[in-house]
Structure 1
Amino acid sequence: MDNATHVVLGATGGIGSALCRRLASEGATPILAARDEGRLKELADELDAPYFALDATDAGAVGDLFSKAVEENGPVAGAANCVGSFLLKPAHMTSDEEFAHQISQNLTTAFNTVRAAAKNMPNGGSVVLLSSVAARVGLANHEAIAAAKAGVAGLALSAAASYVARGLRFNVVSPGLVQTRMTENVTRSETARKASLDLHPLGRLGEPEDIAGAIAYLLGPDAGWITGQTLGVDGGLSTLRPPVRRSAKG
């Protein structure tokens, strides 16, 4: 991955920052983009990387980001949209504003990334989007986020078909519950944390580095024959039903 340039939207989040550090450690140039300019500059200084402060729900701003990235750093080899939000509420308790927020943060930002990449990566490359295990498994109280993230997976499939002749690959990483700033409302509650641990067959919650490693793989040349796929990085939640653990009878 040496010298490759990758655009990372949502660079200051738990997964985004882990990905940027991973890319930089592998010799790539991550171009950092996020809303919080203070955190963005701090990470950019750490990695000696270029950065752009923007709102990824703004299609024009995302388009400008990609065009400037090409102008200032040469061809973009890959892009990852790590922007997202998290809501645990049943549909009947979710407001119009909350639902719209889930769609804008998760699906609109993904669409903006796809469109900008298609316009600014004419020689091919890799785009990775983030979905969620909630789009693959029916989990209670996840209606809004499941709808948004299922849209992300469908978006990637269609884009992979549209741009395959140009060598532009689109794939999705679908995490389980990952311990980040965004999920603190769940992970800091002992009751909710235990319930979440019980759902994941591998017996632990995800770390940002777990997801960053999968994204970095899909961005890199070793994944050059992979497109239109959703990779579950979820501790087995989407596919496994382990035996029930029964306590010993005295």
Structure 2
Amino acid sequence: MPLNDIALVTGARGGIGRALVARLRARGLRVAAVGRDAALLADLDCEARIAADTTTPEGAAAALEACRQQLGDNPARLAHAVGSTLIAPLHRTRAEAAREVLRINLDSSLWVLQAWIAAREGAPGAAVFVSSVVARIGVANHEAIAAAKGGIEALVRSAAATYAAQGLRINAVAPGMTDTPMTASMLKLPAMREGAGRQYPLGGVQQADDVAAAMDWLLADDSARLTGQALAVDGGFTTVRPLIK
């Protein structure tokens, strides 16, 4: 069964979300962009701008329903780019901060995926979520966000197994340091940017569109045989040790 031409992008205000919306529109898809404040999505080139808090089951379901009402059908493609980060050793992590990072990253992924699966009503589709390199390799002072992103990867694998027979493909990307508004404070000085770039075998700090390109591909028919995967978009950070000369 061919997929319809509707894509739902949550976290569309962020750097990766914006880049993905542009890519999806460039290949002719109708895009419903979701954020907590629809007014902040006004400059996006998309067919629908939806205000919803996807960290709750009610908010996630409302986003899917608004997409159906505004575009006439449920989205066959889902990209969930809602996220936050927390860099702190566990012994200095407040309970409230840990709960918040889990709510924004893991809770939202769970509820959005649940709502999308229900909306598909047995029809096929493709979804992609955003994990992180810190879920795949130990990085100091990232315990809370690593737990949240690791949960997303586990969610993706389990759901991919459950719904494969329905024709739902569910994957994730696991980016390394990416130049977005969320990481601006970590890259604000040339020395900080240079130091970050040296951690990656391919060198430099990647751009939001580098991650969006991989997400776009995972939503396209070209990746029709991929499901349950977490694709590292990280300049080799988690798999490659370069030759030091």
Asked if TM exceeds 0.5, the reply is yes
SS, match of residue 79 in structure 1: strand
Q: Which residue of 1 aligns with 2:112?
A: 113
The share of aligned pairs that are identical, in percent, is 37
TM-superposed CA distance for 1:88, in Å, is: 1.2
Q: Which residue of 2 aligns with 1:248?
A: none
In 2, Cα distance between equivalents of 1:28 and 1:177:
28
In 1, Cα distance between equivalents of 2:224 and 2:68:
21
The farther-off stretch of 3-12 and 24-33 is: 3-12
Q: Which residue of 1 aligns with 2:206?
A: 206
Q: Deviations over 1:208-232 (max 9, x none)?
A: 1001110010011111111001100
Partner letter of residue 98 of structure 1?
A
In 1, Cα distance between equivalents of 2:9 and 2:242:
36
SS, match of residue 47 in structure 2: coil
TM-superposed CA distance for 1:202, in Å, is: 0.6
Q: Which residue of 1 aligns with 2:180?
A: 180
Paired residue total: 242
Partner letter of residue 109 of structure 2?
A
Q: Which residue of 1 aligns with 2:62?
A: 64
In 1, Cα distance between equivalents of 2:100 and 2:243:
38
Q: Which residue of 2 aligns with 1:144?
A: 144
In 2, Cα distance between equivalents of 1:71 and 1:12:
21
TM-superposed CA distance for 1:193, in Å, is: 2.4
Contact 1:19–1:213, Cα closer than 8 Å, also in 2: yes
In 2, Cα distance between equivalents of 1:188 and 1:155:
34
In 2, Cα distance between equivalents of 1:83 and 1:216:
16
User: Counterparts in 2 of 1:79-228, with a 5 A limit?
Assistant: 79-121=78-120, 122-228=122-228
Structure 1 alignment gaps of length 5 or more? 246-250
Contact 2:126–2:219, Cα closer than 8 Å, also in 1: yes
Which consecutive aligned stretches of 4+ in structure 1 deviate over 3 angstroms post-superposition?
189-192
TM-score, normalization: structure 1? 0.92
Contact 2:4–2:76, Cα closer than 8 Å, also in 1: no
Structure 2 alignment gaps of length 5 or more? none
TM-superposed CA distance for 1:48, in Å, is: 4.3
Contact 1:2–1:27, Cα closer than 8 Å, also in 2: no
In 2, Cα distance between equivalents of 1:36 and 1:198:
36
TM-superposed CA distance for 1:57, in Å, is: 0.7
Q: Deviations over 1:172-200 (max 9, x none)?
A: 10000000000111111344323311111
Contact 1:172–1:231, Cα closer than 8 Å, also in 2: yes
Contact 2:50–2:66, Cα closer than 8 Å, also in 1: no
Partner letter of residue 181 of structure 1?
P
TM-superposed CA distance for 1:117, in Å, is: 1.1
TM-superposed CA distance for 1:2, in Å, is: 9.9
In 1, Cα distance between equivalents of 2:157 and 2:230:
9
Q: Deviations over 1:21-54 (max 9, x none)?
A: 11011100110000133221222xxx14211111
In 1, Cα distance between equivalents of 2:138 and 2:108:
24
In 2, Cα distance between equivalents of 1:205 and 1:191:
12
Partner letter of residue 168 of structure 2?
L
Change (3 A) 1:69 1:48: closer
